[in-house]
Amino acid sequence: MAYGFANVIDYARNELDSFDEREVCRVDSLVFSCLSYLRLPQAAQAASDGEEGLPIKDLYRADWFEELCDRTFDPQSSRELLSVVAANPRFRDVRVMDYVSRINEVAEEQFSALAFRLSPTSTFVAFRGTDNTLVGWKEDFNMSFKTAIPSQVAAARYLEHVANKTEGSIWCGGHSKGGNLAVYAGMMCDPSMRARIVRCFSHDGPGFSEKTMTDPLWAGTDTLVDKTIPQSSVVGMVFERQEQDFTVVHSRGTGLGQHDPYKWEVEGLDFAMDDRLDKGANLFDSSINAWLTNATDEERERFVDAVFSVIEASGEPTFGSIKANWRTAVPRMTTAASKLDARDRELVFQAMGDVTRAMLPSRPQKG
């Protein structure tokens, strides 16, 4: 897929020096974060559980393409990225290890991660972002009133598991919720293992609740975090406290489409930068986050339950299936919304309006 500008795929195609020659940078982190969205076939999963894992280049098999890529948010770009890393000497011999992927509807957990062994003394741990299941998105919203959602706890334990199996330096990262999980895991894992972490990369990952960031384990660890967000970030600006010193990346997407990592512009060995957020991100920060800041945990939980009671009334398990079956799903959702009490209905409609306005492309200011 040709984008007309350099993106993460171009970086993975053109930068050939080894990790011994140049260590992990934030664009490498986005490469691995995008690869974490792949769904490994059973044979690949079994190989990843072995002592040595399997080289990335071994994933590039025509008979695996459908299972690997077709359930990602951008199958064509995912397949192209896999093809270039499989050919590039920087990436092709990196070993994929310890793949895990699970959904638990009862616990409201969607969690997936895998480790990339860069060398005998360096490892990158990648956490997958939210998929399109209702369970995954409900868990994201649960962050607003829970101090440790199941996937965050799982991420910290997974990082400790990988650290116990490896030696040397560790990097971790992820896109969307995966970025939040990477930061949480890095901050909340065993301190002896945290000492081996070089950097935790969050690519447009949601922020954290006040309770999470005031945990004693968080103190003094801000220098480990590298957060990047596009200029119209919505997802990365969620929740009242953000990691310090985030970097604004130029995205060629519009509105919520800026969240797409394949639309982030790359210049050389880094992202193209913007000097500030635009009005969409600031609107979201000042509306939804302002409400979250002033609401009690009970009010936040009530809001989340109200929103998802409407969505779940569609009878569909994913947002993709809601879209595909909208003729039956939308009437069911409308009926469910009409049955909410007046207070919940007002909160839901206000939030949907704020999100819609935040997702609209910014218009140039008249001079």
Which of 54-58, 103-107, 154-158, 216-220 bottoms out in mean pLDDT, i.e. has the lowest?
103-107
208 vs 240, more confident: 208
- Domains of the chain: residue spans and CATH: 8-278 (3.40.50), 295-359 (no CATH)
Please determine, for residue 365, whether its predicted confidence score (pLDDT) is greater than 60. no
Question: Is it the case that residue 354 has pLDDT exceeding 70?
Answer: no
pLDDT of 337 reads 77
The answer on pLDDT for 204 being more than 70 is yes
Torsion of the alpha carbons at 278, 283, 285 and 286, rounded to the nearest 10: 130
The lowest-confidence range among 37-46, 131-140, 227-236, 268-277 is 131-140
Quick one: what percent of the chain has pLDDT higher than 70? 74
pLDDT (0 to 100) of residue 107: 55
Q: What is the pLDDT of residue 68?
A: 94
Instruction: Assess whether pLDDT exceeds 90 at residue 292.
Output: no
| Residue 364: per-residue pLDDT | 42
- pLDDT (0 to 100) of residue 185: 95
Instruction: Output the pLDDT for position 106.
Output: 55
DSSP 182-248: HHHHHHHS-HHHHTTEEEEEEES---B-HHHHTSGGGTT-GGGEEEEEETT-SGGG-SSB--SS-EE
**33 compared with 297, residue with greater pLDDT:** 33
Average pLDDT for 315-329: 72
Average the pLDDT over 195-210 and give the result. Answer: 89
pLDDT at 290 over 70: no
Once rounded to an integer, what is the mean pLDDT over residues 112-128? 97
Q: What is the mean pLDDT of residues 271-287?
A: 66
Strand-strand pairing, 54-55 and 95-104: antiparallel
Rounded to the nearest 10 degrees, the angle between the axes of helix 297-312 and helix 342-359 is 80
Give the pLDDT confidence score for residue 366 in this predicted structure.
38
Distance between CA atoms of residues 159 and 70, nearest Å = 27
For 44-70, give the DSSP string. Answer: HHHHHTSSS-EEGGGG--GGGHHHHHT
pLDDT > 60? residue 289: no
The predicted pLDDT at position 367 comes to 37
How far is residue 222's CA from residue 244's CA, in Å, rounded to a whole number?
A: 7
pTM: 0.81
Evaluate if residue 108 carries a pLDDT over 80: no
pLDDT per residue as tens digits for the range 22-46: 999 999 999 999 999 999 999 999 9
The pLDDT, as a whole number, for residue 363 is 45
Question: Which of the two residues, 203 and 241, has the higher pLDDT score?
Answer: 203
- Most confident range (mean pLDDT) of 5-19, 95-109, 221-235 is 5-19
What angle in degrees, to the nearest 10, is found between the helix axes of 326-338 and 297-312? Answer: 140
pLDDT in the model for residue 285: 53
pLDDT at 245 over 80: no
Q: What is the share, in percent, of the chain residues with pLDDT greater than 90? A: 47
Judged against a pLDDT cut of 70, whether residue 219 lies above it is answered with yes
Mean pLDDT of 149-160: 92
Let me know the angle formed at the C-alpha of 264 by 283 and 99, rounded to the nearest 5 degrees: 105
**What is the rounded CA–CA span in Å between residue 138 and residue 347?**
17
Mean pLDDT of 235-263: 75
Span of 223-232, 251-260, 282-291, 347-356 with lowest mean pLDDT: 282-291
Residue at 176: amino acid letter: S
Non-local CB neighbours of 156 within 8 Å, separated by 6+ positions? 184, 185, 188, 189
Interval 132-147 mean pLDDT: 62
Whole-number mean pLDDT of the chain?
82
